Amino acid sequence: MLTLTINPTVDLAWEVGHLTGIGKNRARVRSVAAGGGGINVARGVVRLGGRATAVHTSGGEVGLRLNRLLDEEGVDHVAVDIEDETREALVLFDTASRHSYHIVPAGPGLREHEGLRCLDALEQAAGNHPYVVASGSLPGGLPADFYAVVARRIKEAGARLILDTSGAALSGALAEGVFLLRCNRTEAASLTGRDVLSLDDARAVNEHLLTTGAAEVAVTTVGALGAVCSTGHGHTELHAPPLPGEPLSDAGAGDGMVAAIAIRLTAGDDPVSASALGVAVAAAAMLTPSTEPFDPEVARSLRPEVKTKFQTRA
């Protein structure tokens, strides 16, 4: 599996007893880890027993730290040097309220030649990978259609692109079309201008994506309800399983879902079956605080609890 993270982070996870606006909040460092969409997906693939290589940018002292963290973790990666500093993100977990706060800066700006180097590195690493995952936001300086160019390059290399992004980067990629597009309800609403509050709403978004040629497979998630996976054959509701514990954080749930989809597609599963495991992994990720990785055994135990309902396309 090959992933692209054009705007990675070093994720700092801190824990406080009770967050207050008066005086100092004493914090405990829970973890420091390399992060960003594609890097998280690569980590998830490895946790599920697969192999993955993460192509990512790296700039300044934070970029060097990012590289060291990936080396220490044993994640295979290809770093593309950039001039500006890689961003740091903070996840703050309040133990009293059991709430997590994910604070993420926009990140560095990239110059045109740096974006081209990323494309070249991705194409060179593509090799015999049947699927490539591009996940995460675009940094400033790159055109909104950057992921459309990625999709074109991946097609020319004989691979299929799985895309998970948001905002202008998402809209800019749709004209080219991708193999599989994963949206959460906020991203899906931005495409249609309508709130996505139910599985019926998600099905309508997916139908739009299929009809316009934006994706061959569309997967839209609706929080605790689950997701809808849509192909040319029809729409399948994937109902989220009951959680065996208290939900602590949704950070990383989407990346875990994409990792599960990618590894099962590579193994030959159909998109619906792959997405069902993705829903189970996303649920397992909800049980871990901050950005801590999901437990693969918990995810596998939840997979039989993902109930499905199929509807043919009109």
DSSP 314: -
- Which member of 84, 164, 201, 255 is catalytic? 255
Active site residue 11: no
| Cα–Cα distance for residue pair 27/29, rounded to 1 Å | 7
Residue type, 241: P
| Cα–Cα distance for residue pair 196/280, rounded to 1 Å | 21
Contact criterion met (CB below 8 Å) for 122 and 152 = no
- Which tokens in the block code for residue 18? 């009770």
Smallest CA-to-CA distance from 294 within 250, 237, 263, 261 is with: 250
Dihedral over alpha carbons 15, 20, 22, 27 (to 10 degrees): 0
Residue type, 1: M
| Cα–Cα distance for residue pair 278/297, rounded to 1 Å | 13
Catalytic residues: 255
